[in-house]
Structure 1
């Protein structure tokens, strides 16, 4: 019971901090590489209150998502910036699959909303997602995470 309460406290802190637009903006400006940051219209940064964390992933993740305009060579496009907090104290072997499920839940909702609006699916494009992932592990766990991720696929 104490662990659940601790997780909810961490989730609440994470969500309350990054749901504040100015805090999120400041963090993103310090985190995103400058060459990419200059393509983002940070004035357009808007909190997306949709819950993208599925019931399956809810016990592991909390998220705060923003919509933002992104300048490409041709035009301005919408992207999502997702801050995901993992509240496990151990390193998951297949965390990349959990993150992929999370991304798919965002894109599935985009497809559903496009169909509901009767948009032409041939011309519809999924929004890119910048995913920034926070994990609660000790410093020694950081190297283990990188090692685990690099060993996930068979070398060809």
Structure 2
């Protein structure tokens, strides 16, 4: 997460954060409807000896949506309500803990407003009306418009960012970039557990048949170790069940695929991480696994 913040935050703000105080929060703050379109990550961190809530909202819809800012506002309000209850019970009083919101976007290419008012209200509203509406700035990390040569950091982070940027938009380009990273990092990258997560994500998100995956991997991946690893992972996912045009039994086949992937990953990562790989809310993933157990 530290490397991601170094890419996402402006330098003047980043220089004020004490990364040694960074602590991830175990809970998700998304409601049932938001969980279908977003993933969120919460943490606390100190800035100049003041504790902040740090909230990252990952938006990965396949179509443009401006309500991410509203989801962020919801998190901020829920955080402050919780803090106020704790303050009342302990008689600690104010002030509330500040919240630093970050919107991480990697959907279709588009510009994203930084201010809540610009994203949520009509530009025709007068300043006299807008002054009575809530407003705040969101630190936007727009991966869709970020130049490829600006993607930096550890190789597994670069691989993750390229996967999120191109898994649905340009799978061939993605494979070439991962091949380049693999040639730089060798087996240390390919056998990294985080890289296995990236493989699972991109092969699942690509929406290609088994034959299409095999063809693209053979065309674009020249590193023999990476090619073999991709082939074995693609086989495990049984992506042929995702062929376009398959009708009867298609949904159940996809759910069965997700169950198998989740079972293979159990014990190596948390349910929250698995849910992000298969792009399901944690509640739905748990329900799938429980149905199988029954």
TM-score normalized by structure 2?
0.37
Alignment partner of 2:83 out of 105, 110, 114: 110
Stretches of structure 1 that go unaligned for 5 or more consecutive residues are 1-23
Structure 1 residues 98-154: Cα deviation after superposition (integer angstroms, max 9, x where no partner): 3212221222222222233x2233xx2221111111234211xx13x44x7286343
- The gaps in structure 2 that reach 5 residues or longer are 127-294
Q: Describe the shift of the 1:109–1:54 C-alpha distance in structure 2 as closer, same or farther (beyond 3 A).
A: farther
Counterpart selection for 2:99 from 115, 129, 133: 129
Runs of 4+ in structure 1 displaced over 6 angstroms? none
1:36 lines up with 2:13 in the alignment:
yes
Q: Confirm or deny: 8 A CA contact 2:64 2:108 kept in the other structure.
A: no
Greater helix fraction, Structure 1 or Structure 2:
2
Q: How does 1:7-156 map to 2 (within 5 A)?
A: 24-71=1-48, 76-116=49-89, 118-121=90-93, 124-139=94-109, 142-143=110-111, 145-146=112-113, 149=119, 152-156=122-126
CA contact (8 A) 1:54 1:105 kept: no
The structure where strand makes up a greater share of residues is 1
User: Between Structure 1 and Structure 2, whose CA radius of gyration is higher?
Assistant: 2
Paired positions, count? 122
Query: Does the C-alpha gap of structure 1 residues 150 and 49 become closer, same or farther in structure 2, counting only changes over 3 Å?
Result: closer
The question of whether the paired residues in 2 share the 8 Å contact of 1:52 and 1:106 is answered with: no
Between the aligned partners of 2:121 and 2:87, the Cα distance in structure 1 is: 37
